[in-house]
Amino acid sequence: MTPPPSDDRGGPLLPHPATGVPFPSPVPPGSGWPGDPSPPSAPVARTPAEVAALAAAAGSPEQVQAHASVCRACPRLVAWREEVARTRRRAYAGEPYWGRPVPSLGESPRVLVVGLAPAAHGGNRTGRVFTGDRSGDWIIAALHAAGLASQPTSVHAADGLRLPGCRIVAPVRCAPPDNRPSTAERDTCARWLDAELRLAVAELRVVLALGGFAWASVLGAARRAGWRVPRPQPRFGHGAQAELLLPDGRAARLLGSYHVSQQNTSTGRLTAAMLQDVVSAAAALAEAGD
């Protein structure tokens, strides 16, 4: 049996499951992966200070994605995401893994959905947030039912999924070991979220936080952006709501939902009906604000 071709590091070149184009794992920027926002020349942040500078200078969502998707500022996360990409889960042994920070997904948002971090064999494999795993199945199906996604499934980055009026972001863009980013990793990556919020504010009506980590991340980013956050700080809970006042006087509504993690969905802590109620409420609030 002829072995697959290899890249210059000796790793195999494996075909993308949709396009058939061979890629190494991790995937180099600008090499043709579907939806890759980064050119080969994208500047690489290697320190928290460089993340802050690049995020603050970004003038468009596309520029945020191009810079964030090659970030190497957190050594532990870089090592983990790339190790997972090289070793791969047996079920995906014949596929290349993205193995880089995962870009946000969607369009200029009225509804901004905030998660936690990519899954090691989900977004870290497919190169798209909430894609290729059970968590993605849940949230994309709910968004589709609420009119915020063009299809009910999210399988790979070339499947044609669109999120009209909606955007999904992760406060931590690399897959962390045990799904637990450190405080320093959270704080470093928060600058990319700050840039996303700054560039989304013109049309933003609703922020949907999936889990307590996302809820706290949104409130922190809102304060740094000069939004008025209620005091005492609103507490997270499934179905919780809070009103955030933007610098121009408009109000944005923050909604909370339990995260669509397999731990929550398999135990019944979060049911499809519970998730749909909150997602549909977010869509209705965004429409009412027009």
Residue 69 belongs to a domain: yes
Name the token pair of 62.
């596309």
- Model confidence at 7, pLDDT cuts 50, 70, 90, reads low
Interatomic CA distance for residues 29 and 193, integer angstroms: 21
Residues 239-262 have a mean pLDDT of 96
Q: What is the pLDDT of residues 70-110, one digit of tens each?
A: 999 999 999 999 999 999 999 999 999 999 999 999 999 99
Which residue range forms the structural domain that includes residue 71? Answer: 14-288
pLDDT, average across residues 193-198: 97
Output the pLDDT for position 170: 98
Q: What is the pTM of this model?
A: 0.95
pLDDT tens column, 15-26: 999 999 999 999
Residue 19 to residues 94, 224, 242, 259: CA-CA distances in angstroms? 14, 41, 43, 31
What is the average pLDDT across 236-253? 96
pLDDT the model gives residue 6 = 52
Tell me the average pLDDT of the chain: 95
| CATH number of the domain to which 58 belongs | 3.40.470.10
In the predicted structure, residue 263 carries a pLDDT above the cut 70: yes
pLDDT of residue 163: 98
Rg from Cα positions in the chain = 18
Q: How many domains does the chain have?
A: 1
Residue 6 within a domain: no
Q: What is the pLDDT of residue 5?
A: 58
Residue 3 is assigned to a structural domain of this protein = no
Q: What mean pLDDT is predicted for residues 112-119?
A: 97
DSSP string for 79-111: HHHHHHHHH--GGGTTS----SPPPPEESS-SE
pLDDT score for 3? 44
Closest CA to 194 of 58, 10, 6: 58
Q: Is residue 151 part of a domain?
A: yes
Q: How confident is the model at residue 1 (pLDDT cuts 50, 70, 90)?
A: very low
Q: What is the mean pLDDT of residues 231-248?
A: 96
In a domain, 5, yes or no: no
Residue 1 located in a structural domain = no
The fraction of the chain above a pLDDT of 90, given in percent, is 94
Q: Is residue 29 part of a domain?
A: yes
pLDDT the model gives residue 288: 86
Residue 114 lies in a domain: yes
The lowest-confidence range among 2-6, 157-161, 236-240, 281-285 is: 2-6
Strands 206-210 vs 111-114: parallel, antiparallel or unpaired: parallel
